[in-house]
Structure 1
Amino acid sequence: MIDSELALQKLIEGNKQFVAATAGTDVAEITTTLKRTSIQEGQKPFAIILGCSDSRVPAELVFNCGLGDLFVIRVAGNIVAPSQIGSIEFACQQFNVQLVVVLGHSHCGAINATVQALTEDHDAISPNIASIVDRVTPAVLPVVNAHKDCGHAELIHRAMRANVEQSVNGLKLRSRQLRQLVRNNKLKIVGAEYSIETGEVEFYLDDEV
């Protein structure tokens, strides 16, 4: 078992390795541990990542982790819905994972779609995409209303961060099991953002629960 602080440090160090390996313009290679034979009997992930489905943000690469290291849930907009909550509860109960990271990222399509729906035409998106947008909207609407005069890039960044923070709080508020683990200091839930431009992950440690 790895406690939350050590798990967080492993993610931070892994991301530094990823950034260093991909800093140049040439094709990069990063070394990781692919221990397929040793995980056939089970898994022991040290962290849970609730991330976005965006193909540019694969958590295992971003944190330079190997097979069996991370329990990853990916959904557009890193939203919190019952299936995501259940998956996280399962990993905490089955594998005693003590760290959950909600990972947003720059240039998020779900955030862009939500801002567009709020400022242009909500009816232009399909009902299925609307189900994602509707979950993101409570976080993004106050940002749109408060920052109408700022540039588009800044608005999207503020909205992305607000959405991550909403998901962090949602995991705690909507799950009795997770809430109890947090209260007993057996689980830490933190937000973070991945920069597609730099490859760096910034953790919102000041807002951790």
Structure 2
Amino acid sequence: MKRAITALVGLGVWVSFGADTMASTEGSATSGNGVQQRLMDGNTRYAGACLSHPNQTEQRRTELAQGQHPFAAIVSCADSRVPPEILFDQGLGDLFVIRLAGNIMDDAALASLEYAVDHLGVRYIMILGHERCGAVEATIQGGETPGHIGSLIKAIQPAVDNAKNQPGDPLDNAVRANVAMVVQQVKSSPPILEELAKKGDLTVLGARYDLDDGRVTILP
């Protein structure tokens, strides 16, 4: 027991000192319009089959062994076809990625974002939905759901309701509405994310990935 407590104390010291130090030294590198341009340039390479595979060397791995300095956080669906590091042609330590089916937001995801922002200095968060999302489609279809899937449906249902009776494709409308809902959930999450977003020190926006052509589009 004493050994476990000592380990936890050591972890606490690392989080409060080491991570805060990273935030103070790396924060400026994770802010500004250049972040979005870097992501979209990478997606252009991916969609055009001209991947550069940056930061995937042994040297990069060694550099990151004692700490990470991601320049953006991506909240995306758990769908195996939507891996952010590949879609944006990024490498080790570049992106802080949170993946949940339907790119939903829960307490664990919010805590992860707070860590990225408060300790790692991330100032750009993208909520990435995608074409023909199975979680959103299941919510539209309704019916009985096994196991814990019902909690997923419950999280997405408000977005599906908001998208009803809109012109266009019902599924794609719901995907977009779900992204917009999660963006607002992140922006309004007190105290860390909400405060920074209100001051204009944190960018939180939505995007949609097209499974057919591989392109990411920033949503209004």
Correspondence for 2:177 among 162, 169, 193:
162
How does 1:51-90 map onto structure 2 within 5 Å?
A: 51-90=76-115
Counting only pairs closer than 5 Å after superposition, residues 22-101 of structure 1 correspond to structure 2 as: 30-34=52-56, 35-101=60-126
2:189 aligned with 1:174: yes
Q: Deviations over 1:112-171 (max 9, x none)?
A: 110001xxx2xx211410100000001111323x14xx67xx111000000000000011
Provide the residue aligned with 1:187 in structure 2: 202
> Is 2:162 aligned against 1:142?
yes
**Normalised by the size of structure 1, how large is the TM-score?**
0.86
Paired residues of 1:114 and 1:136 also in contact (CA < 8 A): yes
What CA RMSD, in Å, does the superposition of the two structures yield over aligned residues?
A: 1.4
Q: Could you tell me how far apart the structure 2 residues matched to 1:109 and 1:48 are?
A: 23
Q: Distance in 1 between matches of 2:94 and 2:36?
A: 13
* Whole-Å separation in 2 of the counterparts to 1:142 and 1:126: 25
Letter aligned with residue 193 of structure 2: L
- Structure number with greater Rg is 2
Aligned equivalents of 1:18 and 1:72: distance in 2?
18
Structure 2 counterparts to residues 190-205 of structure 1, below 5 A: 190-204=205-219
Residue segments in structure 2 that go unaligned for 5+ positions in a row: 1-28
CA contact (8 A) 1:45 1:71 kept: yes
Offset of 1:176 from its aligned partner? 2.0
Letter matched to residue 170 of structure 1? Q
Letter of the aligned partner of 1:93 in structure 2? Answer: D
Q: Please give the alpha-carbon distance, in whole angstroms, between the structure 1 residues aligned to 2:32 and 2:182.
A: 19
- Identical-residue share of aligned pairs (%): 36
What amino acid is aligned across from residue 199 of structure 1 in structure 2?
G
Aligned length: 189
2:174 alignment partner AA: A
Separation (CA, whole Å) in 2 of partners of 1:131 and 1:3: 34
**Superposed displacement of residue 184, structure 1:** 2.1
Q: TM-score, normalised by structure 2?
A: 0.82
The Cα shift of 1:30 comes to: 4.7
Report the Cα distance in structure 2 between the residues aligned to 1:2 and 1:172, rounded to whole angstroms.
18
How far did residue 38 of structure 1 move? Answer: 1.2
Q: Secondary structure at the match of 2:48?
A: helix
Structure 1 pair 173/2, CA: closer, same or farther in 2 (3 Å)? closer
Structure 1: segments with no counterpart, 5+ residues: 23-28
Q: State the 1:4 CA deviation.
A: 3.5
**Aligned to 1:112, what secondary structure does the other structure show?**
helix
State the one-letter code of the partner of 1:164.
Answer: V
Q: Give the letter aligned to residue 10 of structure 1.
A: R
Contact 1:21 1:30 in 2 (8 A): no
